[in-house]
């Protein structure tokens, strides 16, 4: 399912993000950048050792990646040019700035992808696995943030360079939530 919003194609895809062909794949990383479980582990496994090698170089330069921030590495063997690693918030009830930090993951990922020359970007469902963010709230934050960047352009707006934003949903529940958000565009 897809729609065009302000010249950018928004796609909702059920599948494995490590197999999605795009310019930039976003990794729901942990702050160590050294791989982990879930999406993070899958991206490191599928992409191969080049990703971990670059993550180690980033760590030696700047230390860990802060929650809400993002960094870029090679995509290794993935069907993309780059991986944007972003650290989502651990959900602690919703009163500790989690929504702001999650929104920052999407903004910073798009900024880093843009700086690296990407025109297409694929997002996983950030923070909804072991970090415990409620899926519906996370989808709403992701959608609102990305849509806001598209429909409220600034002088250096993403809409002037971004051709596609894909939300890659590994499970049926996330796919249903994102499809529902996209269908609201028609109303």
Q: Which residues pair with 4 in a beta bridge?
A: 9
**Domain spans in the chain, listed from the N-terminal domain onward:** 2-186
Q: What is the pLDDT of residue 154?
A: 60
Q: What is the pLDDT along the chain (187 residues), one digit of tens a residue?
A: 787 877 788 999 999 999 999 999 999 999 999 988 899 999 999 999 999 999 999 999 999 999 999 999 999 999 999 999 999 999 999 999 999 999 999 999 999 999 999 999 999 999 999 999 999 999 999 999 998 888 766 645 554 578 999 999 999 999 999 999 988 876 5
Helix, strand, coil share of the chain (percent; to 5): 45, 20, 35
**With contact defined as beta carbons under 8 Å apart, do 114 and 24 qualify?**
no
**With contact defined as beta carbons under 8 Å apart, do 141 and 91 qualify?**
no
**With contact defined as beta carbons under 8 Å apart, do 74 and 54 qualify?**
yes
**With contact defined as beta carbons under 8 Å apart, do 51 and 75 qualify?**
yes
- Active-site residue set: 40
Q: What is the pLDDT of residue 187?
A: 59
CB atoms within 10 A of CB 96: 12
Give the fold, CATH level 3, of 2-186: 3.40.220
Q: What is the pLDDT of residue 2?
A: 82
Rounded to two decimals, the pTM is: 0.93
Place of tokens 């310019």: 23
């Amino acid at each position: 399912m897809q729609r065009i919003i302000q010249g950018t194609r928004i796609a909702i895809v059920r599948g494995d993000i490590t197999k999605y062909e795009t310019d930039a794949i976003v990794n729901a990383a942990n702050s160590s950048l050294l791989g982990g479980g879930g999406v993070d582990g899958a991206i490191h496994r599928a992409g191969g050792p080049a990703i971990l090698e670059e993550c180690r170089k980033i760590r030696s330069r700047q230390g860990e990646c802060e929650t809400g921030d993002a960094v870029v590495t090679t995509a290794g063997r993935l069907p993309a040019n780059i991986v944007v690693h972003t650290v989502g918030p651990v959900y602690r009830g919703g009163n500790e700035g989690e929504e702001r930090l999650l929104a920052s993951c999407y903004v910073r990922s798009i900024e880093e992808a843009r700086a690296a020359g990407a025109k297409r970007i694929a997002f996983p469902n950030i923070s909804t696995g072991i970090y415990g963010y409620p899926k519906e709230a996370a989808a709403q934050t992701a959608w609102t943030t990305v849509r806001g960047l598209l429909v409220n352009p600034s002088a250096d707006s993403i809409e002037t360079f971004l051709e596609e934003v894909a939300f890659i949903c590994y499970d049926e529940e996330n796919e249903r939530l994102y499809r529902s958000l996209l269908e609201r565009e028609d109303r």
